[in-house]
Structure formats: structure tokens, C-alpha cells
């Protein structure tokens, strides 16, 4: 196999995937590179590389795509809570004996003064909120329905795309991406008299502002642990992943 024959599939959907699109294209100029988005959000970022959009159709669909496109390596840079895609990628890579590298940013850790309640599911997070709480819910459109039975609280739900079903009438929906500055989050939490912050343990810097704001305002945080992901080789950063991919591709050529 020649270096030209490499075709890397980048499973995207995170800020790291954006960095990877650029870095992989620069590092492996002789390889083909295709980025893939689920297509959940409408304003997709331009990764600067050829892109496909939409689900593959489960493991079978992914296998067909990998064969058809002669993919030689998969980079899974999906969100830590996008477990289904990671499972499908791991299974397909195993079947076709393709190298798979997953970018796995470290989880957020509480500081000494942080008041975190650790939970393992959306349902447990919903139950952890006391009656009368004014909760900031950094929960996506897919999972928000796990909280909407809590009509005894005020929920300020922020997500990028609207939820499939309406939220309780007394709640507020904020359709936006998370801000990068803690000051903006502090101002939002103050303005809505937020008493609790509910968030997935996404890790990384892109959406850490809400954690910093909760810390600054001494707000309790309900922290939802990550789902179990399949066994796969992982790298914690873009740079580490690119280094490892370089070795893998060199060994294949
Ligand atoms: P998921 O539950 O793991 O995946 C559901 C289905 O969406 C997959 O089975 C696959 O469909 C399709 N899919 C997911 N990622 C894809 C990709 N990069 N390219 C093509 N198809 C993809 O994922 P999710 O939680 O719905 O997340 C969807 C996307 O949003 C992911 O790319 C993820 O990185 C991003 N995202 C998720 C979160 C979150 O909290 N879950 C947060 C930020 C960003 P088929 O089975 O038909 O192939």
C-alpha cells in the first residue's frame, strides 16, 4: 500500500474535530481525508476538508461506507456522550481490522471548594434537584425530556437546536452555543437567579465557562458522568493523536 492510498475518516462533532481537520490535512497532505457530521445542527463548521453529513445507517451502513470509500484509518473525535457512534466505529474497525484512534479529552475534576454531586444518568440528575430549584440545564435536545417531568422547578435549558417536544411552560429555552467566557455565564446565572447547574462531564475547554461560573458563584453542580465507551486506543489531545496516527500510518505503508 502506498501513502497515497490512505483515506482517513474523521468522525466530527467537537471543537477538537475542527482542529483535527486542519492539522490532519497539514500533517498528511498525501492522504485523503473525509470529515463526517451527524447533521444534527444546521450551521456546521467548515473543517476545510471534504465533508459528508448524516448517519451511516448503523454498523452495517458504516461498514458499507468504509469499504466503498476504501477508508484506511478512523479518527473518532465525537463528543464523549456520543456513545453510539463510538460503539459503531469500534465494531466496524474491529470487523475490517482498521486502525481506530479516539480523541478522549480528560473529564472535568472538581476543585477543593466545588460543590459537585456526581450522578451516572440523566434520570439521576433530574432526581437530584430539590423542589423549587432554579436549574441551569446544559443538556442537549436529545436528553432534555429526561428532565421535563420536573414541573416543580424552573429550568433554564440551553441547547443548539430546539427540543423535539415543548418544555414546561414555566421554563425558559435558550437556543445558543455555550459562551466561552465565564463572565457571560455568571451574568446569565445571576440574571435568572440560578441555584443549581446541571451538566454532562464533557471535559475540554470549549464549554468549561459554566463550571467556572458555578465555582465563582458557589453554586452546586450536578455532574453527569460519561457513558461507558468501547475499548479503543485513545489520545487526550489533538497533538498526541496526530503523533500516534503518524506512527500507525507509517507502519501500514
Ligand atoms: P450518538 O448518540 O453517538 O449517535 C447517534 C447516531 O448519529 C449514530 O448512530 C450515527 O448514526 C449518527 N452520528 C453520530 N455522530 C456522527 C458522525 N460524526 N458522523 C455521522 N453520523 C454520526 O451521537 P449524538 O450524541 O446524537 O451526537 C451527534 C453528534 O453531535 C456527534 O457527532 C457528536 O460528536 C456531537 N455532539 C454530541 C454531544 C452530546 O452531548 N451527545 C455534544 C456535542 C456534540 P448512524 O447509526 O445512522 O450511523
Cβ atoms of 178 and 207 closer than 8 Å: yes
Question: Do residues 100 and 8 both lie within one domain?
Answer: yes
SS (H, E, C) 7-36: EEEEECCCHHHHHHHHHHHHHCCCCEEEEE
Question: Do residues 141 and 84 both lie within one domain?
Answer: no
Q: Ligand 1 in contact with 72 (CB < 6 A)? A: no
233's CB contacts (< 8 A; 6+ apart) are 99, 100, 101, 102, 244
- For β-strands 154-159 and 73-76, DSSP reports them as unpaired
How many domains in the chain?
Answer: 2
Question: Do residues 127 and 101 both lie within one domain?
Answer: no
Residue 1 in this model has a pLDDT that exceeds 60 = no
Question: Do residues 64 and 120 both lie within one domain?
Answer: no
Question: Do residues 125 and 211 both lie within one domain?
Answer: yes
Question: Do residues 120 and 194 both lie within one domain?
Answer: yes
Q: Scan for cell 497539514, then name that residue.
A: 26
Question: Do residues 205 and 235 both lie within one domain?
Answer: no
pLDDT tier at 18 (50, 70, 90 boundaries)?
very high
pLDDT at 2: 46
Question: Do residues 175 and 238 both lie within one domain?
Answer: no
Q: What is the helix (H) or strand (E) element at residue 233, kind and residue range?
A: strand 233-235
Report residue 48 as a C-alpha cell.
476545510
Per-residue pLDDT tens digits for 52-73: 999 999 999 999 999 999 999 9
Question: Do residues 219 and 232 both lie within one domain?
Answer: no
Question: Do residues 180 and 240 both lie within one domain?
Answer: no
Per-residue pLDDT tens digits for 198-253: 999 999 999 999 999 999 999 999 999 999 999 999 999 999 999 999 999 998 76
Question: Do residues 183 and 214 both lie within one domain?
Answer: yes
pLDDT at 253: 67
Q: Scan for cell 459537585, then name that residue.
A: 116
Per-residue pLDDT tens digits for 92-105: 999 999 999 999 99
Question: Do residues 37 and 126 both lie within one domain?
Answer: no
Centre of ligand 1 to C-alpha 85, Å, is 6
Percent of the chain with pLDDT over 90: 94
Query: 134 is in which domain, residue-wise?
Result: 115-224
pLDDT tier at 4 (50, 70, 90 boundaries)?
low
For ligand 1, atom 46: residue with the closest CA: 58
Q: Ligand 1 in contact with 227 (CB < 6 A)? A: no
* 82/101 Cα distance (integer angstroms): 15
- In sequence order, the β-bridge partners of residue 197 are 136, 221
pLDDT tier at 43 (50, 70, 90 boundaries)?
confident
For the domain that residue 202 is a member of, what is the CATH number? 3.40.50.720
DSSP letters for 180-193 = S-HHHHHHHHHHTT
**Among the listed residues 228, 248, 253, the one whose alpha carbon sits nearest the alpha carbon of residue 101:** 248
Q: Ligand 1 in contact with 207 (CB < 6 A)? A: no
Amino acid at each position: 500500500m502506498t501513502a497515497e492510498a490512505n483515506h482517513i475518516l474523521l468522525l466530527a462533532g467537537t471543537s477538537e474535530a475542527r482542529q483535527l481537520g486542519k492539522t490532519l490535512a497539514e500533517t498528511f497532505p498525501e492522504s485523503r481525508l473525509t470529515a463526517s457530521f451527524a447533521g444534527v445542527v444546521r450551521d456546521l463548521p467548515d473543517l476545510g476538508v471534504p465533508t459528508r453529513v448524516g448517519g451511516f445507517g448503523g454498523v452495517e451502513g458504516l461498514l458499507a461506507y468504509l469499504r466503498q470509500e476504501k477508508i484506511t484509518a478512523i479518527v473518532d473525535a465525537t463528543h464523549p456522550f456520543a456513545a453510539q457512534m463510538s460503539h459503531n466505529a469500534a465494531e466496524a474497525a474491529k470487523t475490517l481490522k482498521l486502525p481506530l484512534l479516539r480523541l478522549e479529552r480528560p473529564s472535568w475534576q472538581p476543585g477543593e471548594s466545588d460543590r459537585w454531586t456526581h450522578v451516572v444518568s440523566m434520570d439521576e440528575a433530574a432526581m437530584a434537584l430539590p423542589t423549587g430549584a432554579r436549574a441551569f440545564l446544559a443538556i442537549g435536545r436529545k436528553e432534555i425530556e429526561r428532565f421535563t417531568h420536573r414541573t416543580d422547578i424552573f429550568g433554564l435549558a440551553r441547547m443548539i437546536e430546539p427540543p423535539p417536544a415543548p418544555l414546561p411552560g414555566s421554563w425558559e429555552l435558550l437556543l445558543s452555543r455555550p459562551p466561552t467566557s465565564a463572565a457571560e455565564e455568571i451574568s446569565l446565572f445571576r440574571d435568572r437567579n440560578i441555584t443549581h447547574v446541571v451538566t454532562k462531564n464533557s471535559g475540554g475547554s470549549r464549554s468549561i465557562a459554566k463550571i467556572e461560573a458555578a465555582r465563582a458563584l458557589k453554586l452546586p453542580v450536578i455532574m453527569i458522568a460519561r457513558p461507558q465507551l468501547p475499548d479503543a486506543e485513545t489520545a487526550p489531545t489533538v497533538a498526541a493523536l496526530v503523533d500516534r496516527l503518524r506512527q500507525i500510518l507509517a507502519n501500514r505503508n
